[in-house]
Structure 1
Amino acid sequence: MNKYIKIILLLFLVLLLFLVRAYSAELFYDPLIEYFKNDYLYTKIPHINTWHLMIDMLFRYVINSLISLGIIWVLFERVDYLKFSGFFLMLAFMILIIAFMLLLRDQLQNGYLLVFYIRRFIIHPLFLLLLLPAFYYQKLSNR
């Protein structure tokens, strides 16, 4: 792939990640955003439509994952990296959403930090920050 096309595609995909983040309040149901912005240590957890939250988190995770897979493809152009990333992202979502829902079901009785960070991993493309250096290292060690 041409170097300039690669740069333009990367900038476009990163811009898409920023747009998902910028318009998340309008696009996705997440009452925990306001809860964690305010005085969450002293207030009760708001009423949450669990299924609506779970579906919207899945939708947001899928959007971020597809953009992340696009970034990985543009940077490395390797199908095996895409397959591994896809499997890893799918498995991570299943584990994280189950843990998130179990903790949320308990109304944050065991604390809020674990729920806060699990939610962060679900709604933000943090796994991309783990996968890119790993693939770069893999690429360098295979030379």
Structure 2
Amino acid sequence: MEKLLNNKQFCRILVFLLLVLLIGIRVFEKQLFYDPLMLFFKGNYQNQNLPNFESAKLFLNISLRYFMNTLLSLGIVYIIFKDKAQLVFLCWVYLGLYVLLILVFAFLLLNAESPDYLVLFYFRRFLIQPIPLLLFVPALFYQKMMNKS
């Protein structure tokens, strides 16, 4: 496997496939995950009440989606940088982010009032989208460039 990861063409194809899987999670989100907030946030939600939802099922599905995105993102980072220490560090960062985000999301969701909907929307978005990948890859490239000089 190490030999394959040293092949640049293979790595490009693998990163492309992992990105396609990330996109697939987004494209098929309605079929894959229970999330009644999806339609709620597409409409004029500021003047509406939260839809009825099953809390355990919602948190389980949001968590599943977060960890699917995380595994694919960690795969992309490892293929690009091939650094196990960075991978372990990012595992801890992703886990810490998850705990922080899911706790705040749960608090906001279970205590939501109309003005809090926008904050709820953004915390949910951080949980269901691979946003950390967009932050970590440039940061790791920068760190790599600074270590070379």
CA distance in 2, matches of 1:41, 1:34: 13
The answer to whether structure 1 residue 52 and structure 2 residue 21 are counterparts is no
CA distance in 2, matches of 1:97, 1:124: 13
Contact 2:48 2:114 in 1 (8 A): no
1:109-136 CA-partner distances (Å, limit 9, x unpaired): 4421110000000000000011101110
Tell me: CA distance 1:39–1:110, structure 2 relative to 1, closer, same or farther (3 Å). closer
Q: Which residue of 2 aligns with 1:78?
A: 83
The answer to whether structure 1 residue 38 and structure 2 residue 39 are counterparts is no
Tell me how many residue pairs correspond in the alignment. Answer: 143
TM-score relative to the length of structure 2: 0.93
TM-score relative to the length of structure 1: 0.97
**Offset, 1:107:** 2.8
Letter paired with 2:137: L
After TM superposition, where is structure 1 displaced by more than 6 Å over at least 4 residues in a row? none
Once the two structures are aligned, what percentage of the paired residues are identical?
Answer: 37
Contact 1:103 1:115 in 2 (8 A): yes
Structure 1, unaligned stretches of length 5 or more? none
More helix by share: 2
| One of 30, 33, 53 as aligned partner of 1:28 | 33
Secondary structure of 1:112's aligned partner: helix
Q: Which residue of 2 aligns with 1:61?
A: 66
CA distance in 2, matches of 1:108, 1:36: 14
Q: What is the Cα-based RMSD across aligned positions, in Å?
A: 0.9
